[in-house]
Chains A and B, each alone.
Chain A
Amino acid sequence: MSVFLRYIPSVLLVLLLFLMLRNRAYKVCPWFFAYVAFGVGADVARFIVDSDQHAYYATYWITEAGYCVLGILAMYEVFRSVLRARSWWTYAIFPVIVIAAVILSLTHACAVPPQVGGLLLYIVTAEIVVRFVQVLIFLGLGVLAAFFGLRWRQYPLGIAAGFGLYATVALLSTIKFSDFGTRFAFLWKMSSVVAYSLTVLIWIWFFRTPREEEPPLDPKLVAHYIAVLEQYMGWMRRMR
């Protein structure tokens, strides 16, 4: 695969980072902003060491580990920003999802042991955990949005949709299509690049519009509107 194709997502990530900075989206989703900034930094580092095989290998796996950590944190942020109720059970959902993902990932590792050893084995297993977490949270938020009638055009759900798409393709290619053997290597790389590019495009679409700053509200005005609302409800009650 040509270098041009390989770095298309990086160019898109730079555009996304610019849009997030312009719209001050880092105030709304700081961990996702950190994820995007890290992605740009990681791609720059990989590009610099592209010609040195050993350095590229080390850089690749170190940055993959970084992606795992930030991917989990970004998903936690997304989950908390949609389900903000401060109840013990809302805090319990995320760890349960992570535990389920760990079980699924370990089961896969037992069934089809990864062809790497040592620290890399943990990174590969952790990557599958992160993908499962992303897919499961995407599914959960979808159900939540459909049930509660939430609008999809909000940053957290856009982030979840992007991760959901990429994680679905990544899991399909990693867990299922890898059974086809080494001939699948090219297709695996292509599907990853295309899926990640689409993911970044989804994020760009969500972050392209400036964030609306909510004007400070006058408490007297709010009280007035509540009073008007109550008055109207009173009229309706009498009409029934």
Chain B
Amino acid sequence: MIFSIVTWLILSCSALELVYLLYLAWSSTRVPKLVLGDVIHFLYPVDSSLLASLVDPAADFELCWNLSPRSFREEQRRRMRLYRELLGRMAHNSAVLAEFDNAMRGNVAGPGSKLQEAAVKVRLYCMFSRGKLRLWLWLPSAFGAVVPPKLARLRIAADLDGLQVYEELKVAAAEAFAQLRPAELEALTHNL
């Protein structure tokens, strides 16, 4: 009985996905695509030095050493919210760049690109880190009894180094821009 339900569920989902693919193929020619001039305006700035300082173990240690437990808790929560905002921006930028990559390649099929690969890594990292952060921020009362978590622990999430994968995304984006034709490059630099 359970086997039958599971099988039907799997097959129905697969059939729905096939219909969704047909819809994507149909809509790809109708939905306006992200154009080069828009990409930069869609990106949110992410301060690399701020990002690095937030997940620096030395900063955690220094704050813990210099502040009272109460002030340290408050400061850690402030830094967590800041880091959550940066993670949101990183995830957003990776989505924009992936969309730009889709638009740049048009309707031509081909192998996956470095930009998409890097965007997936950043999204994965952001998803896991934000999950952890959300959990930490949802449990404020627990911080009264236990030591506040160290932000440096968020540098690596899902076995991915956040700073490293975001740098990889930047390099892949720069490479994608470098592959543009001179006229497009001119447009990009003009917008920059």
User: Is B a genuine binding partner of A?
Assistant: yes
**Residues of B contacting A54 with CB < 8 Å?**
none
Q: How many residues of B contact A (CB 8 A)?
A: 52
Q: Mark A20-31, 1 if CB is under 8 A from B, else 0.
A: 000001001000
Which of B78-86, B116-124, B134-142, B145-153 interfaces with chain A? B116-124
Also in contact, A148 and B123, with CB within 8 A (given A107-B3, A161-B21, A237-B45): yes
Give the contacting residue for B11; candidates A25, A135, A151, A154; CB below 8 A.
Answer: A135
A: contact size bracket: 35 or more
State in angstroms the CA–CA spacing of A145 and B188 once bound together: 27
Is B192 engaged at the interface, CB distance under 8 Å to the other chain?
yes
B163 CB to nearest A CB, Å: 15
Which of A8-16, A37-45, A136-144, A184-192 interfaces with chain B? A136-144
**Residues of A contacting B7 with CB < 8 Å?**
104, 108, 171, 175-176
- B120, A135: Cβ atoms under 8 Å? no
Is A3 engaged at the interface, CB distance under 8 Å to the other chain?
no
- B175, A217: Cβ atoms under 8 Å? yes
**Residues of B contacting A148 with CB < 8 Å?**
95, 98, 119-120, 123
- Listed in ascending order, the chain A residues whose CB lies under 8 Å from chain B are 25, 28, 81-90, 104, 107-108, 111, 132, 135-136, 138-139, 142, 144, 147-156, 158, 161, 164-165, 167-168, 171-172, 175-176, 205-209, 211-212, 214-215, 217-218, 221-222, 225-226, 228-229, 231-233, 236-237, 240
